[in-house]
Amino acid sequence: MRLVLLGPPGSGKGTQGARISARHGIPTISTGQLFDRQISAGTPLGQRAERYVRAGELVPDEIVLDMVADRLAAGVDCAEGFLFDGFPRTYPQAEALDRMLAASCGPLDAVIDLDVDVDEVLARIRRRAHTEDRLDDAEDTARRRMAVFAAETAPLRRYYQQAGLLHTIEGAGDPDEVAARIGQTLAAIAHPQLHLGS
């Protein structure tokens, strides 16, 4: 399956993405993780991206799109599929992804939209900042990332809704429960004939 995981910072995309990957045997392509690696390795791309990541701002589209194009060119199995985590995050990125896929694998199967409460998310990010050493989990940066999500990325819900691809999942609660909700949705997408009327 060819999937996109959409959701604000701290919504559990990383956790749920790993589970979807394992369950469906598909690789996760996380642009946040790719940037993290590029920054740690001090590559030219990492150097261009670092100040944006540190500030909680979006890395400019052209840098993101170059990196994603490289990742796709490095090889994906179109039939098996993949899961994008944290990409696309802007309209131009979503449109570019559609073009890239039209020229290669074919369209997305679904967009999983993790819906969580903003206060819940800020509390999670604060907890995570204590347990993980992330570049961007300081409270003011976390707030900035939430605001950027609301302004730039949340409008993509409409884009994907119009394409008939959006599946909004309640992201609150135990990770196992959230995973079960996602599992049901993906099963219905993979086998629609078994789920008619449900």
Contact between 97 and ligand ADP (CB under 6 A)?
A: no
Give backbone dihedrals phi and psi of 121, rounded to 5 degrees, phi first.
-65, -40
Active site residue 2: no
The residue (of 58 and 182) whose beta carbon lies closer to ligand ADP is 58
Return the DSSP state at 11. Answer: S
Active site residue 126: no
Contact residue for ligand ADP among 16, 20, 39, 56 (CB under 6 A): 56
Q: 70 Cβ partners below 8 Å, 6+ apart?
A: none
Provide, rounded to whole angstroms, the least separation between the CB of residue 88 and ligand ADP: 6
41 token code pair: 């390795």
What is the spatial distance between Cα 150 and Cα 52, in angstroms, rounded to a whole number?
Answer: 17
Residue 167 Cα distances to 58, 157, 162, 179, angstroms: 24, 9, 12, 14
Active site residue 157: no
Contact residue for ligand ADP among 53, 72, 112, 156 (CB under 6 A): 53
- Quick one: which of 160, 115, 144, 145 has its CA closest to 12? 115
**Is the distance from CB of 115 to CB of 7 less than 8 angstroms?**
yes
Contact residue for ligand ADP among 4, 6, 9, 121 (CB under 6 A): 9
**Rule CB under 6 A: which of 57-86 touch ligand ADP?**
57-59, 64, 86
Contact between 13 and ligand ADP (CB under 6 A)?
A: yes
Contact between 87 and ligand ADP (CB under 6 A)?
A: yes
- Tokens 């559609």: give the residue: 98
Contact between 92 and ligand ADP (CB under 6 A)?
A: no
Chain residues that interact with ligand ADP, rule: CB under 6 A = 9-10, 13, 31-32, 35, 52-53, 56-59, 64, 86-89, 93, 136, 145
